[in-house]
Amino acid sequence: MEFLYILLLSPLPIFISHVPDPAPGLSSTREEVRSLDCEVLSQPQAHELYPAEVAEARARRIAGPSDSVLVCNRRILAPSERPARDEAILSSLRQTMAEMVQAASALTPGEPVWHVDAFYPEPAVGVKIAVAARTELAERGHKVSDRVPVLAAGDLAVLSGLPGSKAYPLACARSFAEHVLSDKEALLGLMILDGRETQLHAGVCRAGAWRWLR
Amino acid sequence: MRRISLVLLSALLPLVARAADSATVEAQRAQVEALRKEVAGQLQLQAYDLLDELVYGWTQAPVFPVETPVVLADVTVPWGFGSGLQALLENHITGLLIKNPRSHMRLAHCPACTSMVVRSGAKGTVVSRGVDEPEALSAASAQSGSHHALFLDFEVEGSALVLRARVTSLEPSLPIVFAKTLSSSTSTAALLRSDEHLKSAAEARQEYLDALQGRGPLLVPMRLGIRSYASRPGDAPVMSAPFVWLQLGAELSLTQTRAWTASLSGGVSWAPQLHTAFLGQARISRLLTGSVTSLTHPDLYGFVGLSVISVHGQSALAFQEKVPTLENLKLQLTGNEPTATFSALQVGLELRIKNRLGAGIFLENLPSLGSAQAIGRYVNLGIIQFQSLGAEVSVCF
């Protein structure tokens, strides 16, 4: 009988000091785990952001190597709530824009006025991408315009029949030739070239020359 | 007949299946709609927080040196959400700017700025929003005195809500004069602030910590409790009356969220003609309902403790190993009152409300009184027996 009590009570300390595990198991299904967004932070960082959940690092630890903390938050929207391609693009928008804007500004000499345009099958998502790029450029201290350079209808009719790899360089050349963009302006174009891909491409148009960034 | 039945069944089956399919789709739609409402509710608070932080930033470092009329050109909500959330956010930013004139932004009414305008020129005809074609607005004298437009874009990126705000000058080249990205993942934890008294992220975080910690790591709990001791089945020579205890002590939070606490207390119990008793107790408590004390719901703690109890008076006879005899009574008559000192191991549960009020129940094992003639057992778990049962209410200062 005593053995039975010991057996029943022995898991109690485990439940008392229970930390939710972000792996599928008894307490969480695979679907719930898939909706987690996890990142590894140092203990001081984790304490700063989540003071209720992560204890303050000891002074000795701060000076030396600190423990890392796996922080998992539930995604605001479940993975199946938005189209998969839009979700993939939007969920990493900040990071993608930071990389692209850094590359664009590093490869573009001088200090042009930047214009941004996004070419994406879903117009609402395209606007989100362009806004993110403009904001990122402006926050980094570049001169940015909200105006979107627009080519004439005849140009657009020709360009729409070309593959992306040829259409964007040609559009860039036409923009410069038609004075839609001057030599003091640059256009950062963001697009997907294949409807099936979930990664954005980027290119810069400066003085009529198109340069792919990614 | 059998063949006819089969034909009828095969004809009806697709109809039944279609009806079931449409019911399933309707149920799925209802489920998605319910989920969307729930998410929008959480999102709204996070979005309010980001707007608060944005306007607080403007009050500390205004974009414009003097009060400037600005058109709220666009508020876009996360992809997949509707205009209901958009209207709430528009109202919130409007309220914030009205109540915080130090932001130096005054919202201007400009219906033409957000409507579609048509402008024909030498290069062709352009149809666009007013804020995207300032020339068309100025030609129509429709700018309402405002020369700047404010754009707010909210987007869900994984577990974070991101706000991208920009202010554009309404001149032909549309230069962006201010841009800021704020994310709920790098911001402070959600904390609703008053519109009139916005706080910095650091101040909001400190408030959050203060709310979590209650009134500091040290509390002074005062407990009023009652303990009753089980009597032996059959003919017990004496029975112990319940003891009413008043305890006062100090409780220290061992973690910043009061997940673990430790307390030391002293208590006294007095009953006329029966006893005067003293108690010293140490207790360690663990929060069972989550890892953080709740700001809105009662918290349940489990605790273990060790007590030393000293009883002076007639009640002490019940805690003695031998049956009271005439000798005991004789001693009492001559002024030598009986005493009993024993220890108790305690386990229990306590429900706390915001670390101010509490109510608890507990069981006690009295290891030194296993052979006391007058003390029985309430609970017998084989390896441990609980001879005492108690309840208490506490107020923390």
Sequence-ordered list of residues with C-beta below 8 angstroms from that of B366, at least 6 positions apart, any chain? B342, B343, B344, B372, B375, B387, B388
What confidence score (pLDDT) does residue A115 get? 95
What confidence score (pLDDT) does residue B5 get? 59
- The answer to whether the Cβ–Cβ distance between B181 and A94 falls below 8 Å is yes
Q: How far is B177 from chain A (nearest CA, A)?
A: 8
What confidence score (pLDDT) does residue B226 get? 94
DSSP states of B43-109 = HHHHHHHHHHHHHHHHHHS-SSSS-EEEEEEEEEPPTT--HHHHHHHHHHHHHHHHH-GGG-EEEE-
Interatomic CA distance for residues B175 and B192, integer angstroms: 34
Interatomic CA distance for residues B392 and B397, integer angstroms: 16
- The answer to whether the Cβ–Cβ distance between A49 and B156 falls below 8 Å is no
Helix (H) or strand (E) holding B331: helix B326-333
Per-residue tokens: A36: 């987690």
A14: confidence class by pLDDT, cuts 50, 70, 90: low
Nearest CB to B166; choose among A19, A128, A134: A134
What confidence score (pLDDT) does residue B339 get? 85
Q: How far is A9 from chain B (nearest CA, A)?
A: 11
Q: What is the pLDDT of residues A85-142, one digit of tens each?
A: 999 999 889 999 999 999 999 988 888 999 999 999 999 999 999 999 999 999 999 9
Checking if the pLDDT of A174 tops 80, the result is: yes
Cβ–Cβ < 8 Å for B285, B271: no
- Tell me if ipTM is over 0.85: no
Q: Is B103 left (phi over 0), alpha (psi -120 to 50) or beta?
A: alpha
Cβ–Cβ < 8 Å for A93, B155: yes
Q: Could you report how far apart the first and last alpha carbons of chain B are, in Å?
A: 86
What confidence score (pLDDT) does residue A114 get? 95
Interatomic CA distance for residues B392 and B203, integer angstroms: 38
- The residue among A179 and B83 whose pLDDT is bigger is A179
Nearest CB to B176; choose among A76, A90, A144: A144
Chain A nearest-CA residue for B385 = A2
Kindly list the residues from chain B whose CB atom is less than 8 angstroms away from the CB atom of residue A33.
none
What confidence score (pLDDT) does residue A60 get? 59
Q: Which of B222, B216, B218 is nearest to B358 (CA)?
A: B222
Please give the model's pTM, rounded to 2 decimal places.
0.67
Helices (H), chain A: 2-9, 12-16, 30-34, 43-49, 59-63, 84-91, 93-107, 123-139, 153-159, 164-177
Count of CB contacts below 8 A, A vs B?
141
Kindly list the residues from chain B whose CB atom is less than 8 angstroms away from the CB atom of residue A93.
155, 157, 162
Nearest CB to A52; choose among B156, B174, B292: B292
What confidence score (pLDDT) does residue A12 get? 59
Kindly list the residues from chain B whose CB atom is less than 8 angstroms away from the CB atom of residue A32.
none
> DSSP strand E in chain B: where?
68-76, 105-108, 116-121, 124-129, 148-157, 160-169, 176-183, 218-219, 221-229, 243-253, 260-271, 275-287, 299-313, 339-353, 357-365, 379-380, 385-386, 388-396
On the CB side of A101, CA atoms within 13 Å amount to: 26
Q: Which of B304, B300, B303, B305 is nearest to B288 (CA)?
A: B300
Low-confidence ranges of chain B (pLDDT < 70): 1-25, 27-41, 123, 139-144, 186-194, 211-215, 234-238, 256, 295, 322-335
Sequence-ordered list of residues with C-beta below 8 angstroms from that of B304, at least 6 positions apart, any chain? B283, B284, B345, B346, B347
